Amino acid sequence: MKKIGSLLLLSVFAGAITLGAYKLFFETTNYAFVNSSGEATTFDTSYTPTSAKGAGINEVDFTIAAEKTVNAVVHVKNMAISSGNPSNIFDFFYGQGGSERTEIGTGSGVIITPDGHIVTNHHVIANASKLQVTLNNNKSYEAVVVGSDENTDIALLKIEPEQPLPYLAFGDSDNTKIGEWVLAVGNPFNLTSTVTAGIVSAKARNLGRNQSFIQTDAAVNPGNSGGALVNTNGDLVGINTAISSRTGSYVGYSFAVPSNIARKVVDDITEFGSVRKGMLGISAIPSDSRYAIENGISDIDGVYIGGIEEDSAAEEAELLEGDVITMVDNIKVRKFPDLSGYLTTKRPGDKVKVILKRDGEQMTKMVTLKEVLTIQLPVLGLTVKDVSKKDQKKFKIKEGVKIVRVPERLSGYGLVGKILLAVDDEPIEDKEDAKALFGEISRYGRTSLTTLNEKGERERVIFQ
Q: Return the C-alpha torsion angle 389, 393, 399, 401, nearest 10.
A: -60
d(CA 378, CA 434): 9
122 is catalytic: no
3-state SS record for 231-291 = ECCCCEEEEEEEEECCCCCCCCEEEEEEHHHHHHHHHHHHHHCCCCCCECCEEECCCCCHH
Active site annotation includes 340: no
Best CA proximity match to 226, nearest among 173, 153, 176:
153
Rounded to an integer, what distance in angstroms lies between the CA atom of residue 7 and that of residue 47?
38
Given the residues 108, 117, 149, 153, the one annotated as active site: 153
Give the number of C-alpha atoms closer than 13 A to the C-alpha of residue 330, restricted to the C-beta side: 2
- Asked if residues 98 and 85 have their Cβ atoms less than 8 Å apart, the reply is yes
How far apart CA 207 and CA 218 sit, in angstroms, is: 18
The alpha carbon of residue 168 and the mean position of all alpha carbons in its chain are separated, in whole angstroms, by 20
47 dihedral zone (left: phi>0; alpha: psi -120 to 50; beta): alpha
- What value does the CA radius of gyration of the chain take, rounded to a whole number of Å? 32
Cα(141)–Cα(143) distance, integer angstroms: 6
At residue 343, the 3 state secondary structure works out as helix
Burial class (CB in 10 A: 0-12, 13-18, 19+), 307: middle
Residue 349 sits at the vertex; the CA angle it makes with 346 and 355, to the nearest 5 degrees, is: 65
* Active-site entry in 173, 225, 254, 312: 225
Which among 75, 117, 122, 123 is annotated as catalytic? 123
Pick the closest to residue 71 from 41, 106, 109, 115 (CA basis): 109
Q: For 259-383, where are the alpha helices, taking DSSP H only?
A: 259-272, 290-294, 313-316, 336-343
Catalytic site residue 153? Answer: yes
CA distance 37 to 42: 15
In eight-state DSSP terms, residue 411 is G
Cα distance between residue 336 and residue 324, in whole Å:
11
Q: Which residues belong to the active site?
A: 123, 153, 225
